[in-house]
Structure 1
Amino acid sequence: MTESLNGTVALVTGASSGIGAATAQTLAAGGAAVALLGRRGERLRALADEIKANGGAALVLEADITDPEQAKAAVEQLVADLGRLDTVVNNAGASFVGPIEDAPPQEWDRMIAVNVEGVLHVTRAALPHLVNAAQDSPRRVADLVTISSTAGRFARPGQAVYALTKSAVNAFSEAIRQELQPKRVRVGVVAPGTVDTELATHLRDGIREAVMQQIASIEPLRPQDVADAVAYMVTRERRVAVNEMLVRAAAQTW
């Protein structure tokens, strides 16, 4: 049995495309008012219009979560406009791959800033509101979900720093899961395998072609597949906590 998200408010980071956009649409269809956080305002506004046209409620929050002040201000604006915060989906991510010896340090910095520091900034800003929501909502529970990766469990050549960042958020999530359990804030991680998103288009020439060749033989996950996993987590009755989901493309061997 699932619980309705009617009357709840959800925040999705990296909501302008891919997994984030699909997750926002899915949570909105389930009854949540959804705050769309990201840097690409035009895309966020288009998604908000689509959600509203389908009968949902959406708020655009244009911000860079690698800046702690912007992350905090976005969460404060959300609560001021929508009144509460029941669900957070830390989805924003950066992925650069390739051999460690010739990788530009700027790529490392970007992955650490988005995949680790961005999760920390949003989580810290959101936690007081999640705790409050768990105390006073009819559901008596709140949810914090972070999108990790199979790379956080199974490191592979060419993914050293990306795997480092995803391993970090896995460990962070497990620690705060134990801290927040008495306060009825559930903490979960969804770890997808290969997903058909635009992340691969950000890779360097040569690296991009090698990655596309590697995955050419499999049918990748669609963003909706990951969104469905998130929705499953956050709609369980409060006695149930799904803390981790590993979701691979069926033909993926790694």
Structure 2
Amino acid sequence: MPNSQTRTIQVFAFFILVILSSYAFMPAPDSHANGISSNPDSLILEAYMSSIKKEFVGEEESLTTRELDSMFYEANQHIVDQQVNYSPDSTFKIFTIEVEGCGAYCNSTWYSWIHFDLLGNEQSTKIDLNLVEAIYPLSDRKYLIVDRSWGRAASVLTFSCMGTKLISYSADGLIIHPIAYRSQDHFGFCQEEGIEMLNAPFIQFDPNTEWLDYRYGNNYLYSHGMDVDTVRQGQFRYVNGQFILERETVTVNDKRVPGKEE
């Protein structure tokens, strides 16, 4: 008969086998949850991160990976986020890497690459995008991409931004289409912290109606010495392959005290 110590070891070993078996049959985690969809995507991200570091430090081929990482870190540069976002139809994907640089205060820079025509002859190129918020397929094989970013321009001035890209692609490459707004060929905005608004700034697109709604505010104390808020709210309509600004209202809130110098 086995003694009590032997029986204890056998029972313990049995439970260890049960635990290990349960892990062996657990489903793989949803890799889209953290923005990285597959091991090949992880390898591509690694290559892009390496290229960012090499470009920043002016790397010679003789530097080892450890030396490159050390030089990047010593320059107060840190890779703090990396994502892969697929279009809903899986015809393209966007790799985005956030690099935070710190001096008197810290700010982020976003680097993005788009790989498109994934179901055919895959191509890739850099694209001017920050953190991808949403990707919307449109009715004419174009796509609307909404992104966001943030920063600190001065010790007393922080801001958050949202922007849009209207894209399509062909065998000849990626095409970025204009979205006309306030004498610019693209639509986006940055809002300073401290604007008096009932709700946060937003860009919202309805795929069913193809209307795009937005709201954001600005304050002019830092830029023009006037403590005045403006809140803009409007709508674009997508028609004949273009976003057309249909309406915009501007509300002004003058917070200056009469008779007091700014």
Question: TM-score when scaled to structure 2?
Answer: 0.24
More relative contact order, 1 or 2 (CA 8 Å, 6+ apart): 1
Q: Tell me which protein shows more strand as a share of its residues.
A: 2
Q: Tell me which protein shows more helix as a share of its residues.
A: 1
Question: TM-score when scaled to structure 1?
Answer: 0.25
